[in-house]
Amino acid sequence: MIVKTLGRNPDNDIVINNPKVSRVHLQLVRDDDGKYVVVDLNSANGTFVNGSRISGHAAIKPGDNLVVGDIPIPWLDYFTTDNLPDGNHTRQESSSPAPKRKSSRSNRVIVIAVVAALVVVVAVVLFFVVRSKQSEEDARRMVQKNEQYHNLEKEINDAIVEAANANAEYEAALRKAAESNSERDRQEADLLKMQAAQANSKVNALNSDKKKLENQLKGEQDKVNELQAENDRAKKDVQNAENKSRKEAERANVAEQRANDEAQKASDAALQAKLTTQFYEALNKARDDNRLKEVCVALGIEASRKENECYRKIVDTFSKAVSNDKRQAIINTIKKSKADE
């Protein structure tokens, strides 16, 4: 008996590098009587014999057309003595370039994107912390400037009162000097004039300082407003980066789950192929030992006197098994029937 596994994985006996072919797509079996069977291993795009999609296994004979997806398979060539000198020769068909394995690469890209997003989050957070400290310093300066401004306003008010008093004293002294026409009164008036001028100059100087301080306060306030706007933008950037990081992590989880599902499916298909080979080996051995009737009874299959009918029913039972555990149980039953003899 010869069993050939066909699929996209390089571990198959027959490798078809085409995305429409599953990793482990089907098995081709030639028993010791020269009869052929094709077994579909739960492929995604199906296996077709003479245009009809098969489920499980189907008999196939020379001249029948075998199609995988939409790819014609010269299946009989794989069993010719020229191509199989030792019964285990591997033949590869390359109907299209091998599909790129994107899962690991895409996972790496997603991981890099997640790390980059996290770096952005950290950078923005650090920026926000630095800006926050700077904002606190600017706020303290604003408080100091406002306190200085209020003190200056009080000083200006005091200077204005002082200047008004000096002007009033000067005007009174000037009138007195005019009335008395006294040199002493004129000298006293000139002194009060000088003091009033100094008081007025002090008021003007303080008002000039006030104007400068107002400009400084406006500049500090503008700076505080600008820093606040930057902090708001930084908070928004952090939120956007966190959202992006979360989405990338979700995408990575989905990609990982998809890769795990695909790997599990391929593993199940590979195990099914292995079990199919073991099944035919055990079944053909049972037929050689004239134990097919005992196997049918052990499997709960209605026994038949015709060996071929019993053989077909056992194959049908195996083909309809919905899990590898049930397939293994059938194989164990076939082998056990020999041990119970």
- Mean per-residue pLDDT pooled into runs of 10, the chain (341 residues): 90 92 92 88 92 91 93 91 39 39 54 67 66 72 87 92 93 91 91 94 93 89 84 84 86 89 88 91 89 90 78 88 92 79 50
Report the alpha-carbon distance of residue 66 to residue 51 in Å, rounded: 8
Tell me the residue type at 206: L
pLDDT confidence of residue 195: 93
pLDDT confidence of residue 173: 92
The model's pLDDT over 273-300, given as tens digits with 9 standing for 90+, comes to: 899 989 998 998 998 888 888 999 899 9
pLDDT confidence of residue 129: 65
Number of Cβ within a 10 Å radius of residue 15: 20
Report the alpha-carbon distance of residue 253 to residue 232 in Å, rounded: 31
pLDDT confidence of residue 245: 81
Kindly list the distances between the CA atom of residue 203 and the CA atoms of 13, 85, 91, in Å, as whole numbers in the listed order. 104, 116, 106
Structure tokens at 316: 């049908």
For 35-89, give the secondary structure using H, E and C: CEEEEECCCCCCEEECCEECCCEEEECCCCCEEECCEEECHHHHHCCCCCCCCCC
Whole-model pTM above 0.95?
no
Contact (CB, 8 A) for 56 and 42: no
Kindly list the distances between the CA atom of residue 312 and the CA atoms of 35, 36, 41, 58, 64, in Å, as whole numbers in the listed order. 12, 13, 19, 11, 20
The residue written with tokens 């991981």 in the block is: 111
Report the alpha-carbon distance of residue 339 to residue 333 in Å, rounded: 10
pLDDT confidence of residue 89: 34
The model's pLDDT over 210-231, given as tens digits with 9 standing for 90+, comes to: 999 999 888 888 888 888 888 8
Report the alpha-carbon distance of residue 118 to residue 173 in Å, rounded: 81
193, with CB counted inside 10 A (0-12, 13-18, 19+), is: middle
Contacts of 148 (CB under 8 A, 6+ apart): 213
Closest by CA position to 91, among listed 1, 2, 15, 3: 15
pLDDT confidence of residue 92: 43
Report the alpha-carbon distance of residue 75 to residue 84 in Å, rounded: 13
Q: For residues 75, 81, 84 and 87, what is the CA-based torsion angle, rounded to 10 degrees? A: 110
pLDDT confidence of residue 113: 63
pLDDT confidence of residue 303: 66
pLDDT confidence of residue 145: 85
Tell me the residue type at 20: K
Report the alpha-carbon distance of residue 229 to residue 87 in Å, rounded: 78
pLDDT confidence of residue 123: 67
